[in-house]
Structure 1
Amino acid sequence: MVPDNPTTSTHQRHKGDAERVVNARYQQLADHYQCAIVPARAKKPRDKAAAESAVNVVNLRVIGYLEGETWFSVSELNEAIDERVREVNQDLKRADDSTRWERFETEEQHLLTALPDARFEEVAWKQLKAARNYHITADYQHYSVPYSLAGQLLRVRLTSSRVTVFNGNEVVCEHPRLSGRKGQYSTLAEHVPDKHRDIDGLWSRTWFSDRARSFGPATQEVIEQILDRHQIEAQGYLDCQNILGGLGKKNRQRLEAACGELLARGGYPTYTTLKRLMAAIDSDAKAPRTIRPAASTRKHTDLSSTS
């Protein structure tokens, strides 16, 4: 295929260079359909002479031929165009006394191959590390991998509909791609360790519960509630880590106080809710400034001059 040079498909290898090369994603399209792309040079119409010639044929043999006629529906116009195109391809003789259709049948048709089973989809590749909750995070959504791969760097292929995870060249798993609200989970049952047992190197209920206990009983209760509300326990691990390792990293006492306030209100425990409660506690804890009297606006009188 010999296209023009739009920036959607080609780019300059070096700034100021007249040569343009095919973009990586456009090349993926060519690889999918097993074809070659050779962009025409700028202002060199002869590089795509076949296309320019075809435009001229359409102008003369279709548009020019039908110029003086009138139609009363789009379907009637399309039928007239189809008839003219058929005549151009199958009836109009070329210099060698052959038609375009005959040349296609003798020189090109036997070289055609079947189209791929699947349509081309734009593909993005990323290298992502599996967290200790045995999930990878792509575009703010979470996808599970076998728990034995926790901590490893994996290759991830993203299309509009699928997320495929590779360990080297081996396909580890596939998930439907999540969209919409951020922070959703796609967790396959076979990736979850039996009974969420405490495996070395993985997050677990015991790991978070023991850590929360050092903050205080209210923090431990909030962490337990977060873990209990998920059908698959591991889907709450990241929230627990963000609360304990983020909010509580340098504010253990305020986090415990915020958890106590949340439990007293019967609120829904989330990172954002606790963060707001901690900010309010921080503001209330600050000592008020000392009130100083305003400066007097009365004119000072020199007593020595009146005596």
Structure 2
Amino acid sequence: MNKIRQVLRCYASGSGTKSISSMLNMSRNTVKKYLHLYQKSGLSLSEVLSLDDSSLYSLFQEKNQACDNQSPRYQELQSLLPDYAKRLKKKGVTRQQLFWEYQRTHPDGYARSRFGTYFQAYLALSHPMARLEHKAGDKMFIDYAGDKLSIIDHETGEILPVEVFVAILPCSQLTYVEAVMSQRKEDFIHACEAALLFYEGTPAAIVPDNLKAAVTKPSRYEAELNEDFAAFAEHYGCAVIPARVRKPRDKALVEGAVKLIYRSIYTKLEDREFYDLHSLNVAIRVALELHNNALLSGRTYSRREQFEELERDCMGPLNPIRFELKQRHTATVQKNGYVRLERHYYSVPYRYIGKKVNILYTGTTVDIYIKYEKIASYARNHKPYGYTYQEEHLASSQRVLTDWNPEKFLREAASIHGDVENYIRHVIEAKPHPEQAYKSCRGILSFASRVGNKRLINACRWASSSGLYNYPAIEKILKNRQDELPLEESIESAEQQMPTHENIRGKEYYN
């Protein structure tokens, strides 16, 4: 506006347009335009010079622009711009192509420069950008670099591409970089945890891209998070706020950080060979420290210094217990009230027999859920085909079986008579595994309630004398009422009738 006032003063003093142009270093056409608008306004020089900047601008600029805005070709272009802006989003469509189309259909329309100016102005008004203020300790942006690094397989010499994980705290711009084998959930969560350990604290929220390891179902309003990643964030007390789909501005800082590490880290790793992730990450960490400790452009402090001053104290406390990723398995509760996990069986409350349950397990723990309700929890047992149970999970009929043990049967037999206890001990010892004798012991001891203790004692004596230690022997003796015969007389008569032979064993063999 001061330039316009100077033009008018020089004109009033009698200077010509060429002289004014030379003195004020302006083009003659611009001088002529200002003088033309002054003469057209009908105002005196003193009246024009007394106007404030806003009124002067309106007098010399807006009217000229308003005339252009009212022209038919301007109105026609404005009606086309919404469709052009929509088509510009499609893959392969450029502004140059849209201008060529406009020129073909409107040969009397604007030239390339003016078309571009109006198109850009429309885009700016229809898609205004908000400036984000990043609070200390508020967010951590994470992403993967588009360009991968590589390691060499020791055995085959094959070059294996590896992903490069990038995290940044937007307030201090402190950056973390790590190479991982893939973008799978396990590697992704490991890299996120390594970033938190690097920062020695936790932000209020983590902002990931919409990759499968973080987001199961993207949404413009409320995305569905991957359950394991959500559990990781919960473990460290962080919220998860996924960036909007196809909205790179939501995480512009990490996008910019990726470009910076191409220059500050990738260039330092060129022409170097790495044979494992560890050695590659050691080299990355060295270059990363240089990157974080370098002064920011045009400033007197580095990312690390800014983090220590502004952000470290604002970070949340780091959970001292490392996150352990849980594996998932779905199983149906068997008829015996157990579920199988990798050749081992765990009990659940018997009322869930036939139901499908979710098993979350690690190397040390097993948690069993049904509809998000935990119904059982165990220490992990790796014994093949073993059974781990809790007493309260079993039905009453199952608890009887679990109560069976050698001591129980021996105590019950001893309460009847010492001979019965001795017989039961021989029954248990005769089997390769004690559990094989449990049913026989239960059946033998049940005769006490059916025929009485006395007959059972005698039957055990008769069976012992013959060296027969099993349920059928006792059953046959009681059925034939052999237990009612005197044991001594029967044995003596049997010995008198029995011939002497080296293959015939006497009663002494069984003592």
TM-score per shorter chain, which class?
0.3 to 0.5
TM-score between the two structures when normalised by the length of structure 2: 0.30
Which structure's CA Rg is the greater one? 2
TM-score between the two structures when normalised by the length of structure 1: 0.46
Q: Which structure shows the higher helix fraction? A: 2
